[in-house]
Each structure stands twice: as structure tokens, then as C-alpha cells.
Structure 1
Amino acid sequence: MPPAEPLSQSETEDRLRSLPGWSVADGRLTRSYRLSSHFAATAMVVHIASIQEQLIHHSELTLGYSTIVLAVSTHDAGGALTALDFTLAERVEAIAPAHGAR
């Protein structure tokens, strides 16, 4: 598979507008979620891990008591943001409501 192409600053800003709650920090696409319990957060982490395996693209994923923090960039693109990072974020956003994440 060819390396992913980094997004331009304007492409990143455009894509970010469709992902409320997500931001770029230290060159990575990031989002925090709060859930009702540790069990709920753990279940969402497992669901995110499944999505990451499907995409063959993995984020830094931190599980707290009732929180999850994701941070993602594309290593194959030198740590830049690519369309794949936004695809992962969109997929996570799509499952978040079913887990009660806010």
C-alpha cells in the first residue's frame, strides 16, 4: 500500500469542521469522551480497537475511569494528518452515541 498523503492545513481545517469535539494538538487529531462508568468506557475502547483493526490504523488510546482520550496521526506520512486519521475519527464519532459518550 502506498504511503498516505499528508493533508494541507486548509484540508485539515475543512475536515475538522465536520467533527465537533475534535481538535488538532501537537500535530495529532484528538478527542476526549466522558462516559457513565468505567465499564462503559472500556466497552467503547474495545469497539474503537475493532474499528482500528478494520482500518489497519491505530491511535493512541487512553482509558481513564470513565473517560477515553484518542490522539491519532499517520506514522507512514511522517506523523502528519491524513484522510485516514479523519476516517478513523468519523467512525469513532459514529459509534460514540451508542455508548453514551459525550
Structure 2
Amino acid sequence: MSLSISELAAAHCSHQTDAMSDADIASHLALLAGWQLDDGKLARRFDFKDYYQTLAFVNAIAWVIHAEDHHPELVVSYNRCSVKFDTHSVNQGRGGLSINDFICAAKIDALFAQRAH
């Protein structure tokens, strides 16, 4: 079952042990502009004007991911931040994508949309 983008952004992460099916991944991925699959992870690059804006965004992400207890891989440089999500606890600890990845991606998109230009 696919949630809407607003339902994803309002949802909260919970412990997951089952990876999403390819069909569920595809339907959720279609909701998230700019996100793609990268080596089995949900990934997006965010571009900024300067280092200050990049770090402000990373700090905002840190607050959200800490509150959700779901932590992505972050690569931060002067004017961009790459975010990659996956869920380590699914597939008997082998990893994969869960609804938590899409929940956090939707929350991060909402933060990005609210940033000062």
C-alpha cells in the first residue's frame, strides 16, 4: 500500500524487519521528486548557494533523523549534500529499503522546500 507524500511526511518511523517489495518501492519512489535508487539505497543530492546554507540544511536533517531514529549516509561538500537511506534491520540484517526510508525522505524534502532562498 502506497501512502501519499503528505502522509509520508506526517508519519513516524518504527522498527522494521521486512524489506519493501519492488512494486512498493516503485510506487513510493514515484512520489518523491529528485530521489532515485543508487546501489539499493534511496538517494538524492541537494544543492545550495554556499557552505553556510549546506550546513544549515545538514543541521536541520540531523534534528529530523535523530527524532525518527533513522540515520542516512550523508556526504557534505561546499554547496551540496548527498543523502542515502537504507534500513539495516530488514532482510534478516542484510539491509534493504523500508517505509522508514521514504518517511525520512519526505520529511527532508519538506525541510528543503522551506529553506530560505
TM-score (norm 1): 0.93
The residue that corresponds to 1:87 in the other structure is: 103
- What's 1:27 paired with? 40
Tell whether the 8 Å contact from 2:40 to 2:97 is kept in structure 1 after alignment: yes
Secondary structure of 1:76's counterpart equals coil
Compute the displacement of 1:84 (Å).
0.2
1:2 offset after TM fit, Å? 4.9
**Which residue matches 1:70?**
83
Q: So what's the TM-score if we normalise by structure 2?
A: 0.81
Q: Measured at CA, do residues 2 and 98 of structure 1 come closer, stay the same or move farther in structure 2, by a change above 3 Å?
A: closer
Contact 1:29 1:72 in 2 (8 A): yes
Within 1, Cα distance between the matches of 2:57 and 2:16?
29
| Correspondence list, 1:52-63, <5 A | 52-63=65-76
Deviation of the 1:36 alpha carbon: 1.1
Report sequence identity in percent: 26
Q: What stretches of structure 2 of length at least 5 have no aligned partner?
A: 1-13
C-alpha change, 1:71 and 1:25, in structure 2 (3 Å) is same
Between Structure 1 and Structure 2, how many residues are aligned? Answer: 101
Question: In structure 1, what is the Cα distance between the partners aligned to 2:15 and 2:112?
Answer: 30
Across the aligned residues of Structure 1 and Structure 2, the Cα RMSD in angstroms comes to: 1.5
Structure 1: gaps (5+ residues): none
Distance change >3 Å, CA 99–CA 84, structure 1 → 2: same
Cα-to-partner distance string for 1:62-98 (whole Å, 9 max, x where unaligned): 1110100001100111220000000000000001022
One-letter amino acid of the structure 2 residue matched with residue 35 of structure 1: F
Partners of 2:100 and 2:17 lie apart in 1 by 8
- Structure 1 distance, partners of 2:15, 2:110, is 27
